[in-house]
């Protein structure tokens, strides 16, 4: 037979390291604090070690949302979810 190996399309080895259940659980942990200020988070997806979220509500237009993202959300996700290297957000 041939030496061909099966390939998973659309999945990188880094992406497989991010536990999506743990990621959702951690976002649910963060979400109440964001909601208290009139905002919310929507998980758009994971690309390798990068988590892509959308900040909506009051957070969507807040000038401090990027500080909240990097100093708060990204730090917590990196601490609690193995494989998360970076968090990107859209408003």
Q: What is the pLDDT along the chain (91 residues), one digit of tens a residue?
A: 445 444 333 444 444 588 889 999 999 999 998 899 898 999 999 998 999 998 888 887 778 888 888 888 999 999 999 999 999 987 6
Question: Nearest Cα to 26, choosing from 81, 85, 83?
Answer: 81
Q: Which of 72, 78, 74 is nearest to 88 (CA)?
A: 74
Query: 0.85 exceeded by the pTM?
Result: no
pLDDT at residue 81, as a whole number:
94
**Distance (Å, whole) CA 3 – CA 13:** 21
pLDDT recorded at residue 6: 43
Alpha carbons 84 and 77: distance in angstroms, whole number: 7
Kindly list the structural domains of the chain, giving each domain's residue range(s) and its CATH number in brackets, ordered by start.
Answer: 13-90 (3.30.300.130)
């Amino acid at each position: 037979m041939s030496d061909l190996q099966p390939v998973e399309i659309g999945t990188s080895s880094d992406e497989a390291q991010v536990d999506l259940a743990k990621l959702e659980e951690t976002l649910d942990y963060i979400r109440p604090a964001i909601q208290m200020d009139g905002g919310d988070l929507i998980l758009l997806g994971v690309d390798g070690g990068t988590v892509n979220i959308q900040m909506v509500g009051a957070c969507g237009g807040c000038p401090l949302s990027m500080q909240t993202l990097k100093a708060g959300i990204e730090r917590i996700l990196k601490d609690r979810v193995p494989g998360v290297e970076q968090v990107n957000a859209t408003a």
